[in-house]
Amino acid sequence: LIIEGAGGILVPLNKKHTFIDLIQGFDIPVILVIKHYLGAINHSLLSIEVLKKYNIKIAGLIFNGTDNYGNEAIINEKSNIPVIGKIAHEHIINKKVIYHYAQEFKRNLIP
């Protein structure tokens, strides 16, 4: 089951609930996808802190976009959460590309 938390974990779903409530309702672990941009370290570490505050298990991190090894190292070191993969900038998204990433993430999630 994949639930896309578009916009972030504190984004409201309605007047009363956020994505945090949805995650807690399903009682599922989270894979946090981190896009490389200015502010990614702060945004990511804040999201991780909120997830921990709500006792939500974080299964791993996925970095999205052009590699930024500096950001990745800092986020990984500060969070101590495993990186399960990276998604490169893809010009075309098709079944073959999706399958490739799915297999990579599966290998890193299920030892």
Each residue's pLDDT tens digit, 9-60: 999 999 999 999 999 999 989 999 999 999 999 999 999 999 999 999 999 9
What pLDDT score was predicted for residue 3? 76
What pLDDT score was predicted for residue 1? 67
* 19-109 fold: Rossmann fold (3.40.50)
Residue range 67-84: mean pLDDT, rounded: 95
Enter the pTM of the model: 0.89
What pLDDT score was predicted for residue 76? 95
Both tokens assigned to 9 = 């974990």
Question: Is 66:86 a contact under the CB 8 Å cutoff?
Answer: no
- Looking at residue 69, its amino acid is Y
Q: Among all chains, which residue has been given the structure tokens 């996925």?
A: 62
What pLDDT score was predicted for residue 111? 66
Calculate the CA 92 to chain-centre distance: 21
